[in-house]
């Protein structure tokens, strides 16, 4: 049984065939998923999906790319929707220096506000990081995010950075890139990070694993991520599935 900890089934790319995508996931052994919403539209869609599917949960947050759009009302609304019994984390939140829609200072402020909210309501957080590792670590430390902990989603940093994140009470979640032939760093991370601190995800529809690279991703492919980790660690797929699912249930508080 597998747990895909980060999906965007709320993306328009699944408007036509979401039921088939979910059925394929179940057939591949993917029982649990967390649908991540990162603005009003995707959060509303995520809430709709979790009301229709038993083992699909949601995370709600504000994406750093759109930080400039977040109002105080939005933050208040995040707190309200976070009270839903199937909302299990806040995020994705963080910093994204690849796109320049939102200035860095605004991204940092919106990130800090969401960490403070998570601490107030005691929920784990899902971190999105693109080209901003040092600033992310600094803010997590300054805000004492270790009190709630959470997930470094689609982790692409080095094994040393992974260690710093573990020390901050975060799990490392690996996605499709760990399966790419030239992905030295994620493979090293898969080897170095103890299995009881690893999670798996697709981040679908993005970042499809090998051999689907460049195509639309979907939760059934998370099995390929698990197989790659099993290979790198020299253990069975069953063990990876069992431990990463237990880890995900623990961080999200699902029994
Ligand atoms: Zn992300
Ligand atoms: Zn995402």
Over residues 193-234, the pLDDT tens digits come to 999 999 999 999 999 999 999 999 999 999 999 999 999 999
Give the model's pLDDT for residue 228. Answer: 98
- Residue 173 pairs in a beta bridge with 199
pLDDT in tens, 42-89: 999 999 999 999 999 999 999 999 999 999 999 999 999 999 999 999
Alpha carbon of 30 to those of 56, 167, 170: distances in Å?
10, 29, 23
Query: Does the annotation flag 6 for ligand binding?
Result: yes
Q: Is there a contact between 127 and 92 (Cβ–Cβ < 8 Å)?
A: yes
Q: Is there a contact between 43 and 212 (Cβ–Cβ < 8 Å)?
A: no
Torsion 196-168-78-174 (CA) sign: negative
Q: Which of 165, 211, 223 is nearest to 28 (CA)?
A: 223
Q: Is the pTM of this model over 0.95?
A: yes
Measure 46 CA to ligand 2 centroid, in angstroms.
12
DSSP letter for 209, please. P
Distance CA 216, CA 221 (A): 10
Measure 206 CA to ligand 2 centroid, in angstroms.
8
- Cβ neighbours of residue 234 closer than 8 Å, sequence gap 6 or more: none
Q: Which two tokens stand for residue 245?
A: 């699912």
Query: Does the annotation flag 8 for ligand binding?
Result: yes
Measure 92 CA to ligand 2 centroid, in angstroms.
6
For the chain, how long is the longest CA-to-CA vector? 49
């Amino acid at each position: 049984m597998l747990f895909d900890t980060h999906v965007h089934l709320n993306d328009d790319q699944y408007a036509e065939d979401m039921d088939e995508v979910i059925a394929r996931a179940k057939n591949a052994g993917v029982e649990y998923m967390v649908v991540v919403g990162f603005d009003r539209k995707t959060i509303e869609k995520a809430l709709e999906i979790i009301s229709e599917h038993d083992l699909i949960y949601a995370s709600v947050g504000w994406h750093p790319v759109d930080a400039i759009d977040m109002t105080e009302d939005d933050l208040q609304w995040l707190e309200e929707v976070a009270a839903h019994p199937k909302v299990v984390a806040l995020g994705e939140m963080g910093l994204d220096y690849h796109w320049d829609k939102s200035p860095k200072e605004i991204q940092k402020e919106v990130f800090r506000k969401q960490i403070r909210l998570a601490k107030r309501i005691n929920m784990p957080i899902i971190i999105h990081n693109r080209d901003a590792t040092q600033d992310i670590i600094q803010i997590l430390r300054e805000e004492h995010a270790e009190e709630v902990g959470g997930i470094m989603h689609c982790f692409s940093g080095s094994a040393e950075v992974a260690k710093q994140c573990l020390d901050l009470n975060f799990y490392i979640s690996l996605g499709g890139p760990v399966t790419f032939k030239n992905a030295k760093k994620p493979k090293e991370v898969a080897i170095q990070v103890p299995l009881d601190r690893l999670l798996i995800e697709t981040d679908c529809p993005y970042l499809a694993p090998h051999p689907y690279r460049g195509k639309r991703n979907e939760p059934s492919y998370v099995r390929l991520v698990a197989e790659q980790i099993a290979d790198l660690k020299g253990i069975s797929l069953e063990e990876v599935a069992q431990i990463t699912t237990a880890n995900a249930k623990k961080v999200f508080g699902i029994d």
